[in-house]
Amino acid sequence: MADAADVERAAVLGAGTMGHGIAQVCAQAGIDVVLYDVDDAALQRGLAGIKKSLEKAVEKGKARRDEAEAALRRVTVLKDLDAACRRADVVVEAVPEKLELKRKLFAEVERHVAPEAMLASNTSSLSIERLAEGLARPERFLGLHFFNPVPLMPLLEIVVGPRTGAGVVVAAAALGRRLGKEPIVVQDAPGFASSRLGLALGLEAIRMVEEGVASATDIDKAMELGYRHPMGPLKLTDLVGLDVRLGIAEYLHQTLGERFRPPELLRRMVGEGKLGKKSGQGFYEWTE
């Protein structure tokens, strides 16, 4: 396994919110990164997202213009999985939360990558062991769970499967620090540490809206002002995506039981295309 300092090239699979955020922090840490997706439009949106965020970092005085420009030059977008992975020291997958989709992708990735490359999933809840089923070298596979917005959030949750090697955990923690993140190490339990706790609060807040306990704004204020959360659980659900949270809730409902049953309101909103910030409407209305 390459040492974090030796990581020169990364491949990030999936150009959505998380994927392009992960690609950005890699590029800012001096790593050449290929952002892969099957969809051209998603790749262009991902690249535009990186440009916009780097621009904001410059505006806010968090990065120098020349550094931001250099980071952008390190990002390549590609639709060819083989070319994306062939020279990568690390591959981070951030495609939708579907076990079969991720498994298929990793099976394909394993055919292209170098034998010593680290393989990681940004899954927010799926079992690392189940994702690793079918891998020829499961010891180099683990969860690297980033948080949205990736360039701003300091946490990296490292999820260790039963067959993950100790060396790869050490390398992942070092890589996380190089990306400016503080790593925590969590065992492969449903929802890990962050999603399990975050969902518990988010689902309860949705049930409270359903029951008319208070408005979304006031429920959020309760947590923002009463508990000093930077963002209330409903605004956060809009940021993460209602569809993403529903997917996690369904999985935790299956694995951890009734307390994670998705509220009807959440299902209805997702059915109506109210996915939060990315669709312009969730518990709040979002405009540019």
**Residue ranges in contact with ligand CAA by CB under 6 A:** 53, 56-57, 60, 62, 124, 147-149, 151-153, 195, 198, 230-231, 236, 240, 244
Nearer to ligand CAA, 52 or 268 (CB): 52
Task: In angstroms, give the least distance from the CB of 13 to ligand CAA.
Answer: 16
CA 228 and chain centroid, separation: 24
Tokens at 175, concatenated: 């890589």
User: Smaller CB distance to ligand CAA: residue 45 or 137?
Assistant: 45
The Cα 225–Cα 2 span in angstroms is: 44
**149 preceded by cis ω (within 30°)?**
yes
Give min distance, CB of 242 to ligand CAA, in A: 11
- Report the residue closest to ligand CAA, judged by CB: 124
Min CB(56)–ligand CAA separation in Å = 4
**Of residues 1 and 246, the one with the C-beta less far from ligand CAA:** 246
By beta-carbon proximity to ligand CAA, the closer residue of 60 and 228 is 60
How many residues are there in the chain?
A: 288
Q: How far is the CB of 148 from ligand CAA (least distance, A)?
A: 4
Least separation in angstroms between residue 157's CB and ligand CAA is 8
- Any residues with CB less than 8 A from the CB of 147 and at least 6 apart, and which? 153, 155, 194
Residue whose CB is less far from ligand CAA, 148 or 217 = 148
Output 239-242 pairs: Cβ under 8 A, ≥24 positions apart: 239/148, 239/149, 239/276, 239/277, 240/148, 240/276, 241/17, 241/275, 241/276, 241/277, 241/278, 242/266, 242/269, 242/270, 242/274, 242/275, 242/276, 242/282
**Closer to ligand CAA by Cβ: residue 148 or 255:** 148
102-127 in b/e burial notation, b at 16+ Cβ within 10 A? bbebbeebbebbeeebbbbbbbbbbb
CB of 273 to ligand CAA, least distance (A): 19
**Residue 200 Cβ vs ligand CAA, minimum distance, rounded to whole Å:** 13
Q: How far is the CB of 107 from ligand CAA (least distance, A)?
A: 24
Number of H helices, E strands in the chain: 12, 8
Tell me how far apart the alpha carbons of residues 132 and 216 are, in angstroms, rounded to a whole number. 39
Residues 91 and 118 sit within 8 Å (Cβ to Cβ): yes
Q: Which is nearer to ligand CAA, 54 or 84 (CB)?
A: 54
To 10 degrees, what angle do helices 216-226 and 233-240 make? Answer: 110
Instruction: For 231, list phi and psi in degrees, rounded to 5.
Output: -150, 135
Q: Closer CB to ligand CAA, residue 106 or residue 147?
A: 147
